[in-house]
């Protein structure tokens, strides 16, 4: 079902666009989602769903199909091929989902598209956004259909989830600042035997470069290897099965064999980002706003979390529950996260592709020593899983109120949100009288949950619809909590 004059027009039906479409549709917002591809991808592409993303889908009520379609990755092992440098576990992640869910992007998109279809919405395929203009309180967009004909679509808001070559980003005139690494990489998706254990990522730091294996279940693995800089500035052609096996034999441990490839490709890494994710009634999310090294597997996750962040804010503004100024926080929050992910992924890539033997030896010694400390392993796991993402500088993070034990304003709330709260309302936690009063004063904005603890020791908290703490205080800070909500409430 396509909406001719939707509240929101979404350009791009990859994982980010489909996540945004599901979240807006779940809130009853009329949408129209388009994509120029005739069908969803059949490639594995983005392969990992991390803990924070799974928590958000859990709070939204549809994490189950992802868990059923994926395989749990419990950690990683780094080796030279002859010696184990480090073994890292993910079970220290403070989350309901202390693992990496290894799931091909083709399956992620299938789950999301089926969820959207269950809400009565289909992706309008072989439809391409060609231009748009903001006129007053509307966005006028021109789309090109499969038969070559064009059509005008009027929407209240336009969201560009249309990837690295985003038409929306180009239309806004935003600079995609950054660079393309000059080294080539090989990617292979196929059948691998000789790797144990099968629930871990295996990374080999050979003197010639990195070789990495990512489990997908049933002896299917993703293989990644850097090839160095291409000669004469030319791109390396897609690798053959024989070339992949040669890399594995040279860089991996003995006895590993690769066969039955489903996908063979050569690629280069781009590291680019826009400064702002919004202008007026037009937003960017996912690869349209930021692309980075696949190291850490955080690209798709970061984009999906862009979508969750934007969806609840847009829903509240459209419903008249919140002031339009609520949307100002989207770019502030997500651009800072994009900067962090870009920086961390770049560092991991730089460490992996060291060529100098002395630098390699130093890297290996430092990593072997450092990962022997559980606290550092925990820090790395929290960073990879994106459970450490916080919004300390956000306009939605209260700067007043008394401190209390537990997550501070701006930090992630680790517990499952109450049924019905995920993406819909702020959750007020604390003394019964205080939270009841807040819910009564802001009935469209707040759901109250009593802690049944003595008033003098119980913290008063406001948890955002996306599971981040907005305000922390005590029952004495009720006036501050009301002032915080008044700044948001329409």
CATH of the domain at 431: 3.40.30
User: Are 382 and 94 contacting, i.e. CB atoms less than 8 angstroms apart?
Assistant: yes
* 148 and 12 belong to one structural domain: yes
The model carries a pTM of 0.94
Does residue 172 fall inside a structural domain?
Answer: yes
Q: What confidence category does residue 143 fall into, taking pLDDT thresholds of 50, 70 and 90?
A: very high
| Mean pLDDT of all residues in 247-252 | 95
Q: What confidence category does residue 464 fall into, taking pLDDT thresholds of 50, 70 and 90?
A: very high
* 14 and 152 belong to one structural domain: yes
Token pair 């336009």 is found at 158
Does residue 285 fall inside a structural domain?
Answer: yes
* 126 and 111 belong to one structural domain: yes
Does residue 85 fall inside a structural domain?
Answer: no
* 287 and 422 belong to one structural domain: no
pLDDT value of residue 3 = 57
User: Are 113 and 69 contacting, i.e. CB atoms less than 8 angstroms apart?
Assistant: no
200: pLDDT strictly greater than 50: yes
* 249 and 275 belong to one structural domain: no
Is omega for the bond preceding 197 within 30 degrees of 0, making it cis? yes
In whole angstroms, what is the distance from residue 96 CA to residue 62 CA?
14
* 286 and 203 belong to one structural domain: no
* 173 and 41 belong to one structural domain: yes
pLDDT, tens digit (0-9, with 9 covering 90-100), for 89-123 = 999 999 999 999 999 999 999 999 999 999 999 99
Q: How many CB atoms lie within 10 A of CB 353?
A: 18
- Split into its structural domains, the chain has a count of 3
257: pLDDT strictly greater than 60: yes
- CATH number, position 332: 3.50.50.60
Q: Which domain holds residue 139?
A: 8-47+104-178+271-350
231: pLDDT strictly greater than 80: no
451: pLDDT strictly greater than 70: no
Does residue 384 fall inside a structural domain?
Answer: no
pLDDT, tens digit (0-9, with 9 covering 90-100), for 396-435 = 999 865 566 789 999 999 998 887 777 789 999 988 889 9
152 vs 3, which has greater pLDDT?
Answer: 152
pLDDT, tens digit (0-9, with 9 covering 90-100), for 22-80 = 999 999 999 999 999 999 999 999 999 999 999 999 999 999 999 999 999 999 999 99
Among 350, 378, 406, the domain-final residue is 350
Q: What confidence category does residue 453 fall into, taking pLDDT thresholds of 50, 70 and 90?
A: low
CA 278 to chain centre: 18
65 vs 295, which has greater pLDDT?
Answer: 65
Please list, in sequence order, all residues whose beta carbon lies within 8 angstroms of the beta carbon of residue 362, skipping any fewer than 6 positions away. Answer: none
Among 326, 350, 374, the domain-final residue is 350
- CATH number, position 249: 3.30.9.10
455: pLDDT strictly greater than 50: no
| Mean pLDDT of all residues in 351-370 | 90
* 40 and 138 belong to one structural domain: yes
| Mean pLDDT of all residues in 149-159 | 95
The number of residues making up the chain comes to: 490
* 14 and 113 belong to one structural domain: yes
- CA-to-CA separations, 123 to 54, 264, 404, in angstroms, rounded: 23, 28, 46
Q: What confidence category does residue 1 fall into, taking pLDDT thresholds of 50, 70 and 90?
A: very low
pLDDT, tens digit (0-9, with 9 covering 90-100), for 207-223 = 999 999 999 988 999 99
């Amino acid at each position: 079902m396509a909406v001719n004059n939707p509240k929101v027009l979404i350009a791009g039906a990859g994982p980010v666009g489909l996540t945004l479409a599901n979240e807006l549709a779940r809130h009853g917002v009329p949408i129209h989602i388009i994509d120029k591809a005739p069908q969803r991808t059949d490639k594995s592409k983005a392969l990992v769903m991390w803990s924070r993303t799974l928590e958000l889908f859990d709070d939204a009520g549809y994490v189950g199909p992802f868990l059923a379609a994926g395989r749990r990755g419990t950690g990683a092992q780094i080796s030279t091929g002859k010696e184990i440098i480090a073994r890292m576990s993910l079970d220290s992640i403070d989350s309901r989902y202390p693992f990496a869910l290894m799931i091909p992007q083709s399956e992620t998109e299938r789950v999301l598209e089926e969820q959207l279809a269950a809400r009565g919405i289909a992706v309008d395929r072989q439809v391409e956004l060609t231009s748009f203009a903001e006129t007053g309180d509307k966005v006028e967009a021109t789309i090109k259909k499969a038969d070559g004909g064009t059509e005008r679509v009027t929407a209240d808001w336009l969201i560009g989830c249309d990837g690295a070559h985003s038409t929306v980003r180009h239309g806004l005139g935003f600079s995609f600042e950054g660079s393309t690494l000059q080294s080539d990489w090989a990617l292979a998706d196929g059948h691998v035997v000789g790797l144990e254990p099968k629930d871990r990522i295996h990374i080999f730091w050979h003197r010639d470069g990195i070789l990495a294996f990512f489990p997908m279940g049933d002896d299917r693995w993703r293989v990644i290897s850097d090839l160095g800089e291409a000669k004469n500035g030319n791109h390396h052609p897609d690798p053959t099965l024989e070339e992949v096996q040669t890399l594995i034999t040279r860089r991996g441990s003995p006895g590993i064999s690769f066969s039955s490839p489903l996908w063979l490709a050569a690629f280069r890494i781009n590291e680019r980002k826009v400064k702002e994710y919004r202008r007026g009634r037009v937003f960017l999310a996912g690869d349209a706003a930021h692309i980075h090294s696949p190291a850490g597997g955080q690209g798709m996750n970061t984009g999906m979390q862009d979508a969750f962040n934007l969806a609840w804010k847009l829903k509240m503004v459209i419903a008249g529950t919140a002031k339009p100024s609520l949307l100002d926080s989207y770019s502030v929050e997500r651009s800072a996260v994009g900067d962090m992910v870009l920086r961390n992924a770049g560092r991991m890539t730089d460490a992996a592709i060291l060529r100098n033997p002395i630098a390699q030896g130093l890297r290996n010694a430092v990593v072997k020593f450092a990962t022997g400390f559980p606290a550092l392993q925990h820090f790395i796991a929290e960073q990879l899983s994106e459970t450490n993402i916080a919004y300390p500088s956000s306009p939605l993070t209260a700067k007043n109120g008394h401190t209390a034990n537990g997550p501070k304003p701006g930090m992630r709330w680790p517990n499952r949100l109450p049924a019905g709260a995920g993406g819909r309302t702020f959750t007020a936690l604390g003394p019964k009288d205080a939270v009841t009063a807040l819910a009564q004063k802001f009935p469209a904005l707040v759901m109250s949950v009593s802690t049944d603890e003595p008033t003098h020791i119980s913290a008063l908290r406001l948890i955002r619809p996306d599971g981040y703490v907005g305000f922390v205080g005590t029952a004495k800070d009720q006036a501050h909590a009301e002032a915080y909500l008044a700044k948001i409430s329409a």
